[in-house]
Structure formats: structure tokens, C-alpha cells
């Protein structure tokens, strides 16, 4: 299976991204609950792109290792980046007036979480979930 | 995608029919707050059975809607949150404190009937 790329430019793209993610998760044999967690995580990541970077993309693809398989979701933008990543990972931190649950929440929904962001050079969040 | 809002006696019922964008959700919030005044409604039911994702934005918008309508003197109940959606919401820390919820439309109507009975026909306490 190939990767799916969804450009995130307007709010309706958030819906398209999470629907694509759910479809891929279901195809990969994830349970309905796990597919919902994946779709919800994608929704949060896509919204962060709209809120903080205006545009970017969500890339999803299957993970196939010898002993387990899963899904990887990459949210990438060339926006302003995050000044203090450690602080952004704490509950309640937000510069856009939102609840600030985004990143810590996504971390809880998925199995693996990595973020690469520097001021002025965009943000890439990579999350993975393994099939149980 | 506009959400149909039905008037049934003293209540308004909004049944979401498909996935909603952020703009759709805000439009639903504003339309319900407006219609509560227009129809002098005493209660509102928002049926979210078809929503397969409730992220932080959707939860916050529904939470705002409930509190705005309460300030207008009416009660709101959210019905039909699916089990796996509830699971994801709790993982995200979205517990919707202070928002009335019910299993389905029938229980939502029952909840509003009880509320209305307690309030009687006197002034609104919102």
C-alpha cells in the first residue's frame, strides 16, 4: 500500500485528512476503537497546521515490520515553528486561545510521538500506532 | 453541510447528518442560539450519533453552545456520543464537565421533560 498525502489548506481538509486516516486504519486491520483514536489524532494535528502554520500536509502510510504492523502519520508544515517544544508538550499551553490540549492529547492517543520544530523552519510531528 | 434544526413543542432538535467542518459547527452553534430566542424554546437536543470523531474543537464548540443557550434560559442535552468517540475524548482530556448528555434522542427528551417539570412555567432560571 502506498502513502496517502492530504494537503491541509482550509478547515474542510481536516475532515478529509481524518476520513482518509480512518479508511487506511480500517484497511490495515485496526479495531474500530483504534481507528477512531487515529482519526482523532489526525484531526488534532491537521487543526494545528491550520491554526499555527496556515497550510501544510498530512502524510499517512502503513508500517510493515517482521513482527508487527501499524500506521505512521506525519504532519508537516513550513510555518513559524514552535519556540519552546517542551512547553508546548505540557497541558494548557497555547498561543492561539485554544485549550492547548493538542500535542499532549495526540501523544496519549498514539503509541509513538516525535516532534521536530525550530523557530522559522516549520514543524514536523510524526506519530505511530501499532496494531494489537 | 447545514444541520437541520426541528422545532418540537418547547424544544429544538438538531440532528447532525454527516461529518462537520469547523465552520459548520460554528454555524450550528450560532443558529441554535438564535433559534432559542426566535421560538422561545426551553430545551435543545443536539444529536451527534453520526459523528465518528469529536476532537478538541468540536468538544469546545459544543461546550460553548451549551453555555450560551443556558445564558438564554434554556437547557441543552448532547445525545448519541458513540462509545469509541467517548474513549478518544477522554484520552484527549475532553470530559465536557457541566454539559448534560444522554444515550439517545429518547433519553434526551426525557431529561428535558424532567427539567421543564421542575422549572414549571415560572421565570427562566438561566
Task: Kindly state the average pLDDT of the residues B79-100.
Answer: 93
What pLDDT does residue B19 have? 94
Under DSSP, the state recorded for A53 is I
- Domain coordinates of chain B in residue numbers? 5-117
Suggest the residue from A13, A36, A50 to mutate for an interface test with chain B (most B CBs closer than 10 A). Answer: A36
CATH number of the domain at A79, please.
3.30.565.10
- Mean confidence (pLDDT) of chain A: 89
| pLDDT at A97 > cutoff 50 | no
CB B82 within 8 A of CB A34: no
CB B9 within 8 A of CB A9: no
What pLDDT does residue A90 have? 76
What pLDDT does residue A111 have? 97
Burial of A93 (0-12, 13-18, 19+ CB in 10 A): middle
Pairwise CA distance, residues B53 & A22, whole Å: 10
B5-117 CATH: 3.30.750.24
Radius of gyration of chain A (CA): 14
Angle in degrees, CA A1, A13, A84, rounded to 5: 95
* Lowest mean pLDDT segment, chosen from A39-48, A82-91, B28-37, B74-83: A82-91
Query: Maximum distance among all alpha carbons in chain B?
Result: 41
Spell out the residues 6+ positions from residue A13 whose beta carbon is closer than 8 angstroms to its own. A6, A7, A46, A50
Task: Kindly state the average pLDDT of the residues A34-45.
Answer: 96
| pLDDT at A93 > cutoff 50 | no
Looking at the 3D structure of chain A, how many domains does it have?
A: 1
CB A61 within 8 A of CB A72: yes
Backbone angles phi, psi at B112, to 5 degrees: -70, -40
| pLDDT at A100 > cutoff 70 | no
| pLDDT at B68 > cutoff 80 | yes
Residue B89 grid coordinates: 475524548
**The domain containing residue A85 runs over which residues?**
4-130
A26/B121: higher pLDDT: A26
- The interface residues of chain B toward chain A in range 95-124, judged by CB-CB distance below 8 A, are none
Residue from the list A11, A36, A108 with its beta carbon closest to the beta carbon of B84: A36
Q: Which chain A residues touch B85 with a CB distance below 8 Å? A: 36
In angstroms, the separation between the Cα of residue B53 and the nearest Cα of chain A is 6
**DSSP per-residue string spanning chain B:** -PPPEEEETTEEEEE--S---HHHHHHHHHHHHHHHHHTT-SEEEEE-TT-S---HHHHHHHHHHHHHHHHTT-EEEEE---HHHHHHHHHTT---TT-EEESSHHHHHHHHHHHHHHHTTS----
| pLDDT at A122 > cutoff 50 | yes
Task: Kindly state the average pLDDT of the residues A88-95.
Answer: 61
What pLDDT does residue A101 have? 46
Q: What is the pLDDT of residues B15-64, one digit of tens each?
A: 999 999 999 999 999 999 999 999 999 999 999 999 999 998 999 999 99
What pLDDT does residue B93 have? 84
| pLDDT at A26 > cutoff 70 | yes
In angstroms, the separation between the Cα of residue B91 and the nearest Cα of chain A is 6
What pLDDT does residue A56 have? 97
Q: What is the pLDDT of residues A40-82, one digit of tens each?
A: 999 999 999 998 899 999 999 999 888 889 999 999 999 988 8
Amino acid at each position: 500500500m502506498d502513502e496517502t498525502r492530504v494537503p491541509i489548506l482550509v478547515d474542510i481538509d481536516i475532515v478529509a485528512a481524518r476520513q482518509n486516516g480512518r479508511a487506511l486504519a480500517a484497511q490495515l486491520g485496526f479495531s474500530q476503537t483504534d481507528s477512531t483514536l487515529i482519526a482523532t489524532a489526525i484531526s488534532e494535528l491537521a487543526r494545528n497546521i491550520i491554526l499555527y502554520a496556515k497550510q501544510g500536509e498530512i502524510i499517512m502510510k502503513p508500517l510493515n515490520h517482521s513482527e508487527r504492523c501499524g500506521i505512521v502519520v506525519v504532519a508537516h508544515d513550513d510555518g513559524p515553528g514552535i519556540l519552546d517544544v517542551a512547553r508546548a508538550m505540557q497541558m494548557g499551553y497555547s498561543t492561539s486561545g485554544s485549550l492547548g490540549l493538542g500535542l499532549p492529547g495526540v501523544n496519549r492517543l498514539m503509541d509513538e510521538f516525535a516532534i521536530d520544530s525550530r523557530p522559522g523552519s516549520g514543524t514536523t510531528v510524526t506519530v505511530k500506532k501499532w496494531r494489537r | 453541510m447545514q444541520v437541520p434544526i426541528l422545532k418540537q413543542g418547547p424544544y429544538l432538535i438538531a440532528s447532525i447528518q454527516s461529518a462537520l467542518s469547523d465552520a459548520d459547527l460554528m454555524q450550528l452553534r450560532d443558529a441554535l442560539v438564535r433559534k432559542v430566542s426566535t421560538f422561545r424554546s426551553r430545551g435543545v437536543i443536539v444529536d451527534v450519533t453520526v459523528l465518528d470523531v469529536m476532537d478538541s474543537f468540536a468538544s469546545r464548540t459544543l461546550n460553548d453552545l451549551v453555555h450560551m443557550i443556558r445564558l438564554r434560559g434554556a437547557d441543552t442535552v448532547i445525545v448519541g456520543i458513540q462509545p469509541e468517540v467517548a474513549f478518544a475524548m477522554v484520552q484527549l482530556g475532553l470530559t465536557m464537565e457541566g454539559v448534560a448528555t444522554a444515550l439517545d434522542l429518547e433519553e434526551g427528551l426525557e431529561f428535558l421533560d424532567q427539567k421543564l417539570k421542575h422549572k414549571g412555567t415560572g421565570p427562566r432560571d438561566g
